Structure 1
Amino acid sequence: MIDNLFVFDNVIHLYDLSAGNVRADRDDALPARDRILDYIRAQVRDPRAAPGGRREFQWDIRWSVEEMHALVFDGSATDMAMAQTVPMFDWFEDWYSPVRTQHAMAAAYPDRVLFCGGVDPGYRGLADALEQIDHQARVLGARSFKFYNGHAQLKDCWRCDDEKLAYPMYERALANGVRVLQFHKGNPYGLQNMEWLSPVDLQAPARDFPQSDFIVHHLALPYFEEMVSIATRFPNVYLSLAGFMAFYRVAPRRVQEHIGRLLQTAGSDKILWGSEAALAGNPQPYLEAFMELQIPDDLRAGYGYPQITREDRRKILGGNFARIMGVDLEAARRRLGLVAEAA
């Protein structure tokens, strides 16, 4: 916990950026992988470096269960997390964040980690995606599913409101008792057509599947205005900060503006903490930055943004995601040997 607040991280990824996972049949695969590595090296301190120091770190690896536990749980105030599959097959043989390693993380630490599966109808067709939903839910115990509908090649892209392609996946997830659906929106990689990552195609499914909860990652940037409108209007749409606090180091004003706007419009009940480890490095600096975050007086006076409160932080850091996932935080505190939160 941090300041006696339970931290339930919506999103960690055991990535595989190793050379062996790069697709040999795609000329753009290695350059795309290298662009991702360049971004990490430019933005993130080595989580294993000495405090305040920098050294070259081998990010082009397949993250292991032990390494992720050391990074997230030994290295930060995180109490629980969800290991999420990223079904990005464009440049990676075993996907960007493979099913097997996310499941292995949850299997190794069942008291701390939930498994989020992932499928894509562009990979081997809709029938295979539906079979994978069955397998991941019934055999692997997936508590949620992650979707990535915008791809490097247009033939692989699909809309989240496609009633013939997308809706059967949502229906199959519900049939397996999984109602939490998560989507990468915004934040395009490489030469993708960014409009496929707009969140506007989530409005129809959010309306047509009121029994499901839709979690959107990265605040759908650069589609922030659209995302705020959707999250404000649809009661079953939530926003994951998913690595967003990493910007606080270089652009604190931007973060203050976005968080202030979200508190004003969508409300703190709709916001989920997400570190994006390991891609964003050790979660601890971002947790500390979030605890120190204040909405400046000029933004409050000029735009009417509310000040962030301790209750807001409690909800965002873990309370909201626990409610969505049906996790009893008091029971989790006892199970993990944590001191109960003060009233």
Structure 2
Amino acid sequence: MLDLEETFVYDAVTHSYNMAPSNYRNEQHAEGITEMLYGNVSGVVADEYTLTPEGFVRDWGVEETATMLFEESYTDMATFHPVPMYAFHDGLVANDKAGAVVDRWPDRFRSFACVDPLRDGWEDELEAQAEDFDPIGVKLYPSHWSEDHHEGWSMGDPEVAFPVFEKAHDLGIETVAIHKAIPFGPVPRSPYHPGDVDEAAASFPDLTFSIVHGGYSFTEETAWQLARFPNVYVNLEGLPAILLGNERRFGELLAELISFLGEDGFDRLFWSSGAMSVHPRPQLEAFRDFEFAEAVRKNTSMMGELPQITDDHKRKILGENYADLIGLDVDEARARIADDEFSSARSNGELAEPYSTTDAEVA
């Protein structure tokens, strides 16, 4: 069985949400998003990982996300994602938080930038973030919120999306992550279909496009994208939570994602727990223990039987693939964190109890 303590684990999407009602700008949509986020978590995790509504719906500090990852789970590094969802005053995750984690824990965190391309001044905002915390990518959401309405946009729009890709490239940012598959709150589903990534990937072959939540829905379409575009990857955020509630369904989704690429498909997937939204530890432990059901492995792909997932495949997904993408030397990265505050807190070889290092209240 895979030893998580010895495995390099890089969590590709982490957050510190501000869901406090005082942060609601568009109350209808912000409240709907908050209810969705809490509902997605509360039904699938064990009792020791279930938070009260008051313990979850609040302004989370970056220290809580950091200790949850590095003291309460066997995560080694993470990418922090600010969020440009202006149904909330600060976007749900303020840019300042992204800068703070990189400044405070540069050997543990990298950060993405984020912009809303329908919001005035996004170019200046992206430049400022690039200067403030040297992001390794830009995170986008296919939704724009004002105080009283929502508007979707397309990754294939040469007037809206392409200028963002060009600006990112000019700033030396080579990865674009786009939230897909899970509509955020009471909004139309169509902007969350991944099909518009085709035009982006074909038009910007020098950029890498990461479909966040890829496979959560529209799984076959996403599998075709992996097969057709070598610069498209899938960030698994959200799928490990499915594993906690329904192992077979997770296996079906993962198998379908790699159904056209087979063995090579494992190289195109990135691990993400979505912490702090879901605790990383049970997701890691469930993935460590996961195997495809034989019926799923044999019958999902039109190309024949799929390989059984191995510890080597899991190591790729858990960290090696992402390290390759961002040019991170794993041995050097592990050496830099060997004696830091988080490693020292785990020096007895045991993890802290779930949420014990945070202000969260367990139900």
So what's the TM-score if we normalise by structure 2? Answer: 0.85
By how many angstroms is 1:204 displaced? 1.2
Partner of 1:297: 294
**In structure 2, the residue corresponding to 1:61 is in which secondary structure?**
coil
Give the CA deviation at 1:52.
7.3
What residue is the counterpart of 1:283 in the other structure? 280
Count, aligned residues: 329
Alpha-carbon distance in 1 for matches of 2:252, 2:63: 37
1:157 maps to 152
Residue matched to 1:105: 101
Residue 16 of structure 2 corresponds to: 14
Structure 2: distance between partners of 1:318 and 1:197: 26
Is 2:238 the partner of 1:240? no
Aligned letter for 2:96?
A: R
Aligned to 1:80: 77
- Verify the 8 A CA contact 1:122 1:157 in the aligned structure 2: no
Partner of residue 205, structure 1: 200
**Contact kept in structure 1, 2:155 and 2:197, CA below 8 Å:** yes
Aligned to 1:122: 118
Report the counterpart of residue 314 of structure 1 in structure 2: 315
Q: Does 1:142 align with 2:144?
A: no
- Measure, in 2, the Cα distance between the counterparts of 1:37 and 1:302: 33
Q: Which amino acid aligns with 1:302?
A: N
SS of the equivalent of 2:55 reads coil
- Provide the C-alpha distance between the structure 2 equivalents of 1:187 and 1:122, rounded to a whole number of angstroms: 20
1-side partners of 2:236 and 2:199: how far apart? 23
Give 1:120 shift: 0.6
The equivalent residue for 1:270 is: 268
| Higher deviation after alignment, 144-153 or 183-192 | 144-153
Q: Distance in 2 between the 1:118 and 1:52 partners?
A: 29
**Which AA in structure 2 matches 1:314?**
R
Q: How does 1:164-183 map to 2 (within 5 A)?
A: 164-183=159-178
* CA pair 269-38 structure 1, distance change in 2 beyond 3 A: closer
Once residues 56 and 90 of structure 2 are traced to their aligned partners in structure 1, the CA distance between those partners, rounded to angstroms, is: 17
In the alignment, the residues of structure 1 paired with residue 27 and residue 8 of structure 2 have an alpha-carbon distance, to the nearest angstrom, of 45
Q: What do you get for the CA RMSD once the two structures are aligned? A: 2.3
The alignment status of 1:95 with 2:91, answered yes or no, reads yes
Cα contact 1:206–1:236 (8 A) shared by 2: yes
Verify the 8 A CA contact 1:152 1:190 in the aligned structure 2: no
Preserved contact between residue 152 and residue 193 of structure 1 (Cα < 8 Å): no
- Residue 220 of structure 1 and its aligned partner are, at CA, apart by 4.8
In structure 1, distance between residues paired with 2:155 and 2:49: 43
| Superposed CA offset, 1:271-313 (max 9, x none) | 0001101111x20111011111101122223332210012111
| Residues 102 and 133 in structure 2, CA contact (< 8 A), matched pair in contact too | no
User: Residue by residue, what CA displacement relative to the aligned partner does 1:104-155 show, whole Å, maximum 9, x if unpaired?
Assistant: 112211001001110012222xxx1111111111232111110001356876
Using a 3 Å threshold, how does the CA distance of structure 1 residues 53 and 222 change in structure 2: closer, same or farther?
closer
Cross-structure match for 1:323? 324
**Conserved? CA contact 2:38–2:56, under 8 Å:** no
Q: Distance in 2 between matches of 1:21 and 1:174?
A: 32
Contact 2:45–2:245 (Cα < 8 Å) also in 1: no
Contact 1:198 1:220 in 2 (8 A): no
The answer to whether 1:185 aligns with 2:171 is: no
Structural mapping, 1:212-231, within 5 Å: 212-231=207-226
Q: Tell me, yes or no, if the aligned pair for 2:84 and 2:91 is still in contact at 8 Å.
A: yes
Q: Distance in 1 between matches of 2:68 and 2:181?
A: 26
Superposed counterparts of 1:250-261, under 5 Å: 250-261=245-256
Q: In the aligned structure 1, how far is the partner of 2:334 from the partner of 2:27?
A: 49
In structure 2, what is the Cα distance between the partners aligned to 1:41 and 1:334?
34
Gaps of 5+ in 1: none
The structure, 1 or 2, with the larger RCO (C-alpha pairs under 8 Å, 6+ apart) is 2
Q: Which residue identity does 2:294 align to in structure 1?
A: D
- Three-state SS of the structure 2 residue aligned to 1:160 is coil
Structure 1 residues 319 and 37, CA gap change in structure 2 (3 angstroms): closer
Contact kept in structure 2, 1:10 and 1:82, CA below 8 Å: yes
- Within a 5 Å distance, the mapping from 1:2-81 to structure 2 comes to 2=4, 4-23=6-25, 26-29=26-29, 31-36=31-36, 38-40=38-40, 42-43=42-43, 45=45, 51=48, 58-81=55-78
- Asked if the contact 1:145–1:180 (Cα under 8 Å) also holds between the matched residues in 2, the reply is yes
2:216–2:238: 8 Å Cα contact kept in structure 1? no
